[in-house]
Structure 1
């Protein structure tokens, strides 16, 4: 029998909430996915530079920047495969004398890529929560223009911000070990075609926030924001020919996430069986899902990252969310 499904190439990172799609346990209606697992750093560069895949995860900030500069090849659906309190991952050298965010002023701080969403969230929170601005810090960026998101989207350092390029002869990790950097917003050692650092720096660094989990809880209690890093995009030319793709893909991603949630809740079964917990707990979990998909529930987080991208001088204009997401998903 001929397979009449629409075949789409898809790039995803190895994430438990997307694994049911990668492994074929969840199949979107009318679509045959041809999956490739790729490290996010490499995936975003390949999409922005070469547009290799029909569907992929995408850096939220790079999508906003691209759209602001007139690149509309990609349309997002409100699936968010990566969230984290990114600022809690800031590290500093143990001998740097840095004990508070305010003491980052005047210091040399590394970042894989200045425009990556992780860095934008961290700088935005440093600014709005701790009054530390990007212009207060000397930045050192590891990724070179030929293999970076910014190289594909026309990155230039914002006015008043010092961004120095780390030469190809070294990398952020080696500079941290030698004491040429005082810290880093984010440190990546996973092997891929984009990031260069591989050395273990744990012996000379520590987290800026001594209890990262406590800082994450403090930030969430104050703001209600659980920052989004990755969304999912579809080639616009495909959506124009097959508008139904957006909701079918969204439903499949939601079903994959639900499958993982069901397995994850299995250990609670006996608590319900014995009456130690009741159905109200499950309703509470469903109504307050910190990893929830959908546009409406995440609007405040999305508005915040769009604001941060613009106020940090990275987007040509303030991008409206309706420019980013498929129209059929805005009511989800």
Structure 2
């Protein structure tokens, strides 16, 4: 494979730092990573070869036969969603089932994270058609995001008016709960008006892992079709480079764990629960998660037809990253 120049737009995930900083080798291409505050639109930006993409939007595009993006099963954003349900501090609600018939705000209707969170409500018997959904920005002044997707949402989904925000509506009592992948700054203050719906969301998330065996994937890395056509080996090579970066980051965090007061304890507990890798790359180890997500998109009405997971990552080189064991060693 000839040496290829590659420009990716990604957000500042810690596990990408070794790759961006040149700490792990990319012998087959010259890599440039553009750091972004928000998820880029890879197809809309000239000069990009790829970048971070919503899992939901990628799946919908491939289900529609649009293969302009080639996805890598490298879910650079993934996480449990039980923590993503907020209520007022004085709310009597403490369980997901208690959101049946409630007024619930969320940051985007077809979004990957919110799709996973709604799946938790469905599992608790909450009828999504019976919830009054309000879509809008989390905090005042937030803009630049397409929140409804390309398809008409269900009739019980409405959009907040100009100038309104989810946190203000929740604080005023016009919403009963909010689904959000990112926490409002106020949540980190001692006198916050908001709290997590689940007092011990970590316990619920451990139970989810025990039941399902995966941590939900939210965003993945994609490449433009023309980039892959010019270098067909690139997806497999990049998947391996991303795997090396992640492994290097884990090893360094275990060595240099004093970035938060209790990070070492959390790293130890995570390794004991999940093993060495709670966010595996490749289609083999993500097959169950991918299949479940495709089912949820259909069951929730985000996509009208059943989705074949096989159309998402057809390249056999993406089954598992080709990385040698020595990549686990910190340097």
What is the TM-score normalised by the length of structure 1? 0.81
Whole-Å Cα distance in 2 between the matches of residues 300 and 231 of structure 1?
A: 16
Structure 2: runs of 5+ lacking an equivalent: 258-270, 321-331
Residue of structure 2 equivalent to 1:230: 219
**1:148 is the counterpart of 2:145:** yes
Correspondences of 1:275-314 after superposition (within 5 Å): 289-314=277-302
Q: Does 1:8 align with 2:6?
A: yes
Equivalent position to 1:200, from 176, 182, 186: 186
C-alpha change, 1:102 and 1:90, in structure 2 (3 Å) is same
| Paired residues of 1:77 and 1:326 also in contact (CA < 8 A) | no
CA shift digits 1:195-217 (9 cap, x unpaired): xxx66266222111110111111
The answer as to 2:27 corresponding to 1:38 is no
Structure 1 125/205 Cα, relative in aligned 2: closer, same or farther at 3 Å? Answer: same
Equivalent residue, structure 2, for 1:182: 176
Cα separation, 2, equivalents of 1:65 and 1:300: 18
1:163 aligns with 2:157: yes
CA deviation after TM superposition for structure 1 residue 169, in Å:
1.6
Report SS of the residue matched to 2:110.
Answer: coil
SS in 1 for 2:186: coil
Provide the rounded CA distance (Å) in 2 between the counterparts of 1:68 and 1:246. 20
Superposition map of 1:108-147 within 5 A: 108-128=103-123, 130-142=124-136, 147=144
Equivalent in 88, 91, 100 of residue 105 of structure 1:
100
Gaps of 5+ in 1: 190-197, 269-282
DSSP-derived class of the 1:9 partner: strand
Report which stretch shifted further, 73-82 or 91-100: 91-100
Among 230, 251, 257, the alignment partner of 2:246 is 257
Q: Say if 2:104 and 2:177, in contact at 8 Å, map to a contact too.
A: yes
How many residue pairs get matched? Answer: 299
RMSD of Structure 2 on Structure 1 (CA): 2.7
